[in-house]
Chains A and B, each alone.
Chain A
Amino acid sequence: DSGVTQTPKHLITATGQRVTLRCSPRSGDLSVYWYQQSLDQGLQFLIQYYNGEERAKGNILERFSAQQFPDLHSELNLSSLELGDSALYFCASSTGSGEKLFFGSGTQLSVL
């Protein structure tokens, strides 16, 4: 158990809908990262937050947004969903930046 908690484990929705994925980092970790994993693209970095502030952006679409709350949990919002958004979404946490990350078990998103 990495100590990173993600909910829900599975999410099935329709095109055009909006969903929210939730992540609680390991105790003491200030950084939260979101990654998308698909078969053809592998693990792609989306966005990082550090202590409530956005720190870095990766390949995140404009339809996606995230935030980190004062209690350090984070949410990833995906809107106007398309079939191609179907993927595994992972949250990871670390104490700082650019170091080893601890991953949650992921949310499997299926857009039908």
Chain B
Amino acid sequence: GESVGLHLPTLSVQEGDNSIINCAYSNSASDYFIWYKQESGKGPQFIIDIRSNMDKRQGQRVTVLLNKTVKHLSLQIAATQPGDSAVYFCAEPNQAGTALIFGKGTTLSVSS
């Protein structure tokens, strides 16, 4: 069925370290993936997206990697800052292509 999952519910890093947040998806037909960041008391905020014809995409301090062979998605955050502390969700369109389904999220805690 449709499901988007994450490997770890929590991740703790030191300020300045690189963070890697992982996500496994089940729908091999998915062609579009998105990462969201949700800070406490706020709605999910778009970070970066990637289409299935790519295996890597870079943004500002963030990189998304897509491995279609093992149906795995990761978000890498370079030089993690305290402001990066949040819950991170991966998402993909449902099979009908009408909405996004979300994984359960990884809570990133950055200590200084």
> A residues within 8 Å of B by Cβ?
2, 4, 33, 42-43, 45, 48, 55-56, 58, 90, 92, 97-106
Hey, which chain B residues are within 8 Å of A48, CB to CB? 98-99
Cβ distance B47 to chain A, nearest Cβ, rounded Å: 10
Is there contact, CB below 8 Å, between A100 and B104? Answer: no
Q: How far apart sit A101 and B99, CA to CA, in the bound complex (Å)? A: 9
Is there contact, CB below 8 Å, between A45 and B94? Answer: yes
Cβ distance A104 to chain B, nearest Cβ, rounded Å: 5
Cβ distance B89 to chain A, nearest Cβ, rounded Å: 7
Hey, which chain A residues are within 8 Å of B103, CB to CB? 42
Is there contact, CB below 8 Å, between A99 and B89? Answer: no
Hey, which chain A residues are within 8 Å of B105, CB to CB? 42
Q: Which residue of A lies closest to B98 (CB)?
A: A56
Q: Return 28 A-B CB contacts under 8 Å, by A number.
A: A2-B43, A2-B45, A33-B99, A42-B102, A43-B44, A48-B99, A55-B98, A56-B94, A56-B98, A58-B94, A97-B97, A97-B98, A98-B93, A98-B94, A98-B97, A98-B100, A99-B93, A100-B34, A100-B46, A100-B49, A100-B100, A102-B46, A103-B36, A103-B43, A103-B45, A105-B43, A106-B42, A106-B43
